[in-house]
Structure 1
């Protein structure tokens, strides 16, 4: 702002304060960014112009014509991220056709938000060259179609050593106590995605479990067997702010810090940066 203070959109400032205070925990993050490609009319890219494709089933990690749409864009974006020094670590076609995911991480602390923001910028720039729009709307098509999330993988130094499962279980208890606050900053329109169906948990209730894709937080089966590792928070929507996600997780697990407010929000009208592009309805 004109007085030198961080403006209301600067969630990075507060997250950085919290992470600096708790840097001894050595947080690692990995974010799985889902998104949907749209054509010039706002309809999912590659879908029939006046109708719907075949039901979900053959599209996830698909291969071949009629099963995947826009792979050239995906691979161009991947190369752009590599060239830019972003720690992109994978990509795959998602359950709904024209929907994709890429993974950034693991990265430490505040770097997660920095890298994800730049990867989103590059995605828009690359898609622009193909005449394709990108939406991070968490439920771009109503009905029996999967939504889009930003699954967040988290670990601390205590979780990554032998016996770390106990620290993960403690984290689950702490996350449950602030479930409502997390949901406020986990993305706009997330209620439409988190219905308890389509590999989501209920928006209103916190749950966790091993190898459970329908839980709020999932512990990998291999993590349970080894007794250490990481956990996955499956609640964040695809349009959520990565600084708020990582910031509030650190705050919830380690404690609040004076001078930082990772829970602050802006009104729907003000939230231009995370504005959702909603496709037009077609028969």
Structure 2
């Protein structure tokens, strides 16, 4: 029997954006544990804004398991938060209500800033560095510094060793800003892996004494980019059938659902979705072919392929909850009939 270090990871009750939490228990298993072998585990919800002190018990329910490459015999255990009965989802448990579909594929582009001493990594103590322009996909010390690339490369390796479907990294438009991409088949799987990738990044940067700033516009009303979490999405029908009529009906549905989308696309998005810096205004819905200033960017390949493939919703921000984002996108897609005849009769 081997003693495994089980890191139970969950989302707390903070609003408008939840934080990641984690605690470790040690259990013996003959081999790497399967999900069904992992027990429920309690925690003090009064310390995470999920319960009152006079009735503080909450329960962690394991829902996904990955190896933890940073620990010998380590296990990453993604959890849902349940009420004390261990059966009823806690009100903060957004995963429990996710609309899921294994045929719905999601690719999230997580942007973020490295922060040190209260400012983006590489910013001078006073004022600003050279204007943005050369930092995006930049190379060299003056563009990316000496530590950031070391961290993102180490994070990439951790994710791949954990079995998380990490698909790429790049320096972003602003100084100290980076991006990584996570892809998954199914709303829950894609979102689980995004949260775990965030967790691994935040845990990794502890040893570098650097923080991760996920706020969508940390530099405020300045000529510096904010951070998004663009959501690339497709379904079986979009990939295999598609068609211009279906696409146009889908975009009409996205326009009609604009307020519902914005409500779950991350806090303070009005600061980022201004119509500047490669964003559309928060008050409108637009789509465009290869248009990074649109709400939904339509790749050239999608149009060339008779309106089949994937689309990119550019509105979700870097603090968004991928569970809610994927679920809202899928809900809107499912509202559109998948044949011209059905639409005509509706």
Q: Same fold by TM-score, threshold 0.5 exceeded? A: yes
Q: Which one of the candidate residues 213, 216, 220 is aligned to 2:295?
A: 216
| Larger RCO (CA under 8 A, 6+ residues apart) | 1
Q: Which residue of structure 1 lines up, in the alignment, with residue 69 of structure 2? A: none
CA contact (8 A) 1:158 1:167 kept: no
**Residues of 1 paired with 2:205 and 2:188: CA distance?**
27
Change (3 A) 1:106 1:166: farther
Q: Which residue of structure 2 lines up, in the alignment, with residue 77 of structure 1? A: 155
Q: Which one of the candidate residues 205, 209, 222 is aligned to 1:127?
A: 205
Q: Which one of the candidate residues 222, 230, 235 is aligned to 2:310?
A: 230
Q: Which residue of structure 1 lines up, in the alignment, with residue 320 of structure 2? A: 240
**Residues of 1 paired with 2:185 and 2:91: CA distance?**
25
State the secondary structure of the residue aligned to 1:154: strand
Q: Which one of the candidate residues 171, 175, 178 is aligned to 2:254?
A: 175
CA contact (8 A) 2:253 2:335 kept: no
Change (3 A) 1:205 1:138: same
**Residues of 1 paired with 2:271 and 2:318: CA distance?**
12
Please say which structure displays the higher CA radius of gyration. Answer: 2
Q: Which residue of structure 1 lines up, in the alignment, with residue 138 of structure 2? A: 62
**How far did residue 2 of structure 1 move?**
2.2
Moved more, 42-51 or 81-90: 42-51
**Residues of 2 paired with 1:115 and 1:122: CA distance?**
10
**How far did residue 162 of structure 1 move?**
5.2
Change (3 A) 1:168 1:45: same
Q: Which residue of structure 1 lines up, in the alignment, with residue 113 of structure 2? A: 36
- Show CA shifts across 1:111-156 (max 9, x none): 0110000000001011111110001100011200000000000101
Runs of 5+ unmatched residues, structure 1: 257-283
**Residues of 2 paired with 1:222 and 1:254: CA distance?**
23
- Show CA shifts across 1:192-232 (max 9, x none): 01100000010111111111101111100121112211100
**How far did residue 175 of structure 1 move?**
1.1
Q: Which residue of structure 1 lines up, in the alignment, with residue 192 of structure 2? A: 114
CA contact (8 A) 1:164 1:229 kept: no
**Residues of 2 paired with 1:239 and 1:171: CA distance?**
26
Q: Which residue of structure 2 lines up, in the alignment, with residue 281 of structure 1? A: none
TM-score, structure 1 as length reference: 0.84
**Residues of 2 paired with 1:203 and 1:59: CA distance?**
26
TM-score, structure 2 as length reference: 0.69
State the secondary structure of the residue aligned to 1:160: helix
**How far did residue 108 of structure 1 move?**
2.6
**Residues of 2 paired with 1:169 and 1:126: CA distance?**
44
Aligned pair count reads 249
**Residues of 2 paired with 1:95 and 1:207: CA distance?**
23
Report the RMSD for the aligned CA atoms in angstroms. 1.5
**How far did residue 159 of structure 1 move?**
1.1
**Residues of 1 paired with 2:246 and 2:236: CA distance?**
10
State the secondary structure of the residue aligned to 1:128: coil
State the secondary structure of the residue aligned to 1:32: strand
Residue 96 in 1 paired to residue 96 in 2?
no
**How far did residue 7 of structure 1 move?**
1.0
Q: Which residue of structure 1 lines up, in the alignment, with residue 90 of structure 2? A: 7
State the secondary structure of the residue aligned to 2:240: coil
Runs of 5+ unmatched residues, structure 2: 1-82, 337-346
**How far did residue 168 of structure 1 move?**
3.2
Equivalences for residues 116-195 of structure 1 within 5 A = 116-142=194-220, 143-161=222-240, 163-195=242-274
CA contact (8 A) 1:90 1:103 kept: yes
State the secondary structure of the residue aligned to 1:158: helix
